[in-house]
Amino acid sequence: MKKQSANTVIVLDFETTGLSPNMGDRAIEIGAVKIENGQVVDQFQQLMNPGFRVSSFIEGYTGISNYMLADAQPCDVVMNDFADFIQGYNLIAHNASFDQRFLDAELQRIGRRYNGEFACSMLIARRLYQHASNHKLGTLVNTLDIENDGTFHRALADAEMTARLWLRMLEDIQHQYRTPSLTFDAMHKLSKTSKATVPTYLRKLALS
């Protein structure tokens, strides 16, 4: 097993058949990038066949068709590979509670586990960019002028944009509060800090 690295994180995004694994929804695509010391050093992207047809809403929303999924490997195979990819690293997603539910559900089906912490870029963005009209990934990417190729709602594209958002937030904190580059643990803690005490928390980090 790889040793957990404080400077290496995995940013991931699932496309799914719906909103709730408890209601029978499954993953249909996983995309992820590995960030090491502020640079993307690896990526993972796979479609997966959930074993039933996806709705026309999901086909339209994601651009992933039943035709594309017909040739994809089953979820169990893809998720087994993905469990290897994430092993030993901390994880990040935009609205992480959603992706964590699907990750937990898919890994439970195949008896695999992961050993990292999960942090949410949306909770941090809500604290840092309170002026933004909303905190959807696409809105933040446009508001902050983050590089993108116009692809949204595909797993790897969304994971890449979330990774750029994460790095941008690290930069903005560093510049605005004159802190050293925050560790994953410090960012994770920030995501759970009440909005009112965020400036106090960051100023304390700048002095430490």
Partner DNA sequence: TGCCAGGCCCTCTTTAGGGCCTT
Binding residues for DNA (CB under 7 A) = 13-16, 18-20, 22-23, 55, 58, 61-62, 94-95, 97-98, 101, 122-123, 126-127, 134-138, 153, 158, 191-192, 194-195
Residue 135: active-site member = no
Taking the least distance from each CB to DNA, the nearer of 18 and 38 is 18
Other CB atoms within 10 Å distance of the CB of residue 84: 12
CA distance 203 to 15: 37
Taking the least distance from each CB to DNA, the nearer of 56 and 115 is 56
CA distance 86 to 31: 12
Smallest distance from the beta carbon of 203 to DNA, in angstroms? 19
Taking the least distance from each CB to DNA, the nearer of 39 and 134 is 134
CA distance 141 to 165: 7
Smallest distance from the beta carbon of 81 to DNA, in angstroms? 20
| Amino acid symbol at 173 | I
131, 153, 175, 188: the catalytic one is: 153
Smallest distance from the beta carbon of 98 to DNA, in angstroms? 4
Taking the least distance from each CB to DNA, the nearer of 162 and 179 is 162
- Supply 36's token pair: 């090491």
Smallest distance from the beta carbon of 3 to DNA, in angstroms? 28
- DSSP sequence for 52-102: SPPPHHHHHHH---HHHHHTSPBHHHHHHHHHHHHTTSEEEETTHHHHHHH
Residues annotated as catalytic (active site), given as ranges = 153
